[in-house]
A = this chain, B = another copy of it.
Amino acid sequence: MYLIDAMSRTPVYEQIIAQTEDFILKGIFSAGDKLPSVRNLSVELSVNPNTIQKALSELDRRRLITSVPGKGSFISENAMEILHDAKSRELEELKVKLTEFRIAGITKADVMRCVDEVFEDGAAAITTGGGHNDQG
């Protein structure tokens, strides 16, 4: 399920966070579902329990999961909603990026081609994979 790229420059714990968010958005994880335990994920991903813990702590802080000591971690009831809100806020960052593009001579048509490509029907076939860009 989870897939860690140890060579990536994005921290492992962020990869886990990003993929968990992805799973929630795609419906692989639904509200109330139990996440794999820290120890299980640790051995499956060959990642130190501490690193798993750090990821889950952050997800808990973002109210995407609820960690109950002694019982496990569970997807929050409003996880999907929270993610939707977060992405909406990211639209502002998109503007900054687009402005850079404009200055670099990228035309509106170029951008529109991208938008169409993603938002038309073919979209279903696209997988983002661990997909969050590596910023490196």
Contact = CB atoms under 8 A, between A and B. Distances in A.
Interface of A: 6-9, 11, 22, 25-26, 61, 66, 68-69, 71, 74, 83-84, 86-88, 90-91, 93-106, 108, 110-112, 114-115, 117-119, 123, 126, 128, 131-133, 135-136
A131 to B, nearest CB: 6
Protomer copies? 4
A98 B136 CA distance: 17
Contact of A98 (B26, B104, B105, B114): B114
Contact of A26 (B11, B103, B126): B103
Nearest to A5: B68
B123 A100 contact: no
B128 A103 contact: yes
A41 to B, nearest CB: 19
Nearest to A113: B91
